[in-house]
Chain A
Amino acid sequence: MSSDIAIKVEQLGKCYRVYRKAYQRLLQLAFNGRKKFYRESWAIRHASFELKKGETLGVIGKNGSGKSTLLQMIAGTLAQTEGDISAHGRVTALLELGSGFNPEFSGRDNVYINALIYGVGKKEIAEKFSEIEQFADIGEYIDQPVKFYSSGMIMRLAFSVSVFLTPDILVIDEALAVGDAAFQFKCLNRLLTLSEQGCSILFVSHDMNLIKNFCDRALYIRKGHAPQLGATDEMVERYLLEMRETQQSASSGAQATGRKKETLPGGRMVYGNHEGRIVSARFVDQGEGLAVYAHGAPITLRLAAAFLPQVRQPSLSITIQDRKLIVLGGYNFPLQAEPAQPDMFSASIDVRFAAKLAGGRYYISLKLFDGLDESIARLIEKQVACLEFEIYNANKKFLGMIDFGMEEISEADVSQHLCIKAMGSGE
């Protein structure tokens, strides 16, 4: 193994044996492979990657995809079923902060014990203690029993111990999720310093911004698939795509009327009842594939729907969503019904809006209602994130996600504005 590789993982896999009854575990011991009493459940399989010295690797994936299992194996607390791991250096794992603390003892005693557990000598602890104490910043509580600590204080102390004992390889499992913003910032700074000093960091988080800003590469784990290693942006993109699919089914399934009707080509799902459907939805000026617009360019949609005559007040709602499917804005349009087939009405509508958005990927969701107001209307059909487009934006001056078109105005404009306002209130 060359000296610039910190961790090497080859075809690593972990299989849990699931027994239906506890005594079957005993039977298994007795029969020793001649008969099988368990069901195999692979938490993770075919994981292969190398972590270079000083590199920060983000690990992303849904809950239950095997991230923690992987980290536990690397930390050395769980034996793998197949494959190999080798690590050069001291692996320090932050799997669950403060779990090694004894509540009856003071913070000081726990720091010493914890450090000894990590394999650090007494002399080194004594040297580092003031740094640890300063970083944790819990004041005189350091000499109080840990049972009197708040959960935030335990976390701070535990984190400080592990990052100040100069690990060669640091494994962090969502440990940064706790703690206030100021402490998180401090932690990240400390991690950056460590990584500059040559410490390799393995990092699980559900915060994609953190992953993007912080990690050199990312490992994307999907249940039942071999983990993929690649550029952070690409892996985050894949993860978000998976999340979107899950959210789509979850948010649609939450509706009372949200029976799954069909699956469109491309894996998109449609939910709703039989009273009508959205026939087509497309960008007017774009061809097949991903629609791309410059910032501020007009986007035109052509939408068509069909429904039964009993639908009194058909309406169509269009919402623009960001990559996390958070609604940025939208509009509700009443539809003009026209008889098309003997027992079917149809309506089509063209909609235009300006793409005054920050660069990135956006989704459009469509809902067909009976009734004008979304709060009292009845859902007929819902297509979550059925259209997607990308905004490219070379020269971004505005802040955030939506461009409100803010501009600087002259003194004359201000007085004119005040004048108009005064006239309006005077009448």
Chain B
Amino acid sequence: MFGWKVWDYMQQFSVTPRGMLANFWSCRSLIQALIKREVMGRYRGSMMGVLWSFFHPLFMLFVYAFVFGGVFKAHTMVGYSKNKSEFFLVLFIGLLVFNLFSECLNRAPNLMVVNQNFVKKVAFPLDIISWVSVGAALFHLLIGLCAWLLFYLVEIGLPHRSMLLFPLALAPLLLMIVGISWILSSLGVFLRDISHLTGLLSTGLMFLSPVFYPLSSLPLLWQHILLFNPITIPLETMRSILFASRPPDWPLLLCYSACSVFMICLGFFWFQTLRKGFADVL
């Protein structure tokens, strides 16, 4: 008579992909507000504010560019043009994508622990916390991409208009990361060791991905192995789109997207199943 709905209690958590989408849609304004808070909150009280997310990847870029470009002369390796500034830009994209991945990966195991209030004090759609974490990381990537574009304009010129396709390469990666984040954050509640593992893992994956070198510079066997790294395919696609050097491997990306969709569904199922126990342990 009052249009009341029956309150969602624990036993009624949806584990289906449909429930995943419904949760995302019904909480979209909350997700938006939390991402905003997350992004602004990181630089609250600092004078430079959001500029930091601009400087941070830049600084990292200079360090890596010095080591790999200046010391190891990586830009002379096969697959790169002899142009040094293009090497910088290729490296920059690699770092941006990798930072997105590693940031989410490293934060995932502690997401529930950090947001204990949401777990214990209010009936909160906990699954959206992973969306928020990925969303905030995406924001930083976009800022970095602006910096990249600026460099590109100055050093090389107007980018090819195929650049506008870059969300196609990024979207499956984001889905993949959300799925991984769900699995890790639910495990992290019960096994605090996970957070140490992800630190090691992300360092390892950094060098086992084509961040510093082009995939084609590896022996064929290693190229195949590296395809299992979740960022390899999106990163390679991203580069081929942004530099318009060669056509992206669309079938491969499609394959990867299918894996991402599977991963995010699995992650949601996993998270919602373990979720009942969170409040008992935290």
Contacts and interface: CB of A to CB of B under 8 A. Distances in A.
Interface of A: 3, 16-17, 25-26, 29, 72, 75-80, 85-91, 93, 95-96, 99-100, 102, 104-105, 109, 112-113, 116-118, 121-122, 168-169, 198
B6 A86 contact: yes
Contact of B6 (A72, A75, A78, A87): A87
Given A77-B122, A102-B41, A85 B9 contact: yes
Contacts of A102: 37, 41
Contacts of A112: 33
B1 A3 contact: yes
Nearest 6 CB-CB pairs, A to B?
A76-B123, A79-B276, A79-B10, A87-B7, A104-B44, A116-B30
Contacts of A169: 7
Contact of A76 (B10, B191, B280): B10
Interface of B: 1-2, 4-11, 29-30, 33-34, 37, 40-41, 44-45, 117-124, 190-191, 276-277, 279-281
Given A78-B280, A87-B6, A168-B2, A93 B191 contact: no
Contacts of B33: 112-113, 116
Given A16-B280, A77-B279, A116-B29, A89 B7 contact: yes
Given A72-B279, A105-B37, A100 B122 contact: yes
A72 B280 CA distance: 11
A116 B40 CA distance: 18
Nearest to B117: A99
Nearest to B34: A113
B2 A117 contact: no
Residue of B4, B5, B6, B279 with most partner-chain A CB within 10 A: B4
A19 to B, nearest CB: 10
A32 B2 CA distance: 44
Contacts of B44: 104-105
Contact of A88 (B4, B30, B34, B37): B4
Contact of B280 (A3, A17, A75, A96): A17
B30 A117 contact: yes
A100 B116 CA distance: 10
Query: Which of A78, A90, A168 has the most chain B CB atoms inside 10 A of its CB?
Result: A78
A105 B44 CA distance: 8
Given A77-B120, A116-B29, A168-B4, A87 B37 contact: no
Contacts of B40: 105
A118 B122 contact: yes
A113 B31 CA distance: 10
A414 B147 CA distance: 94
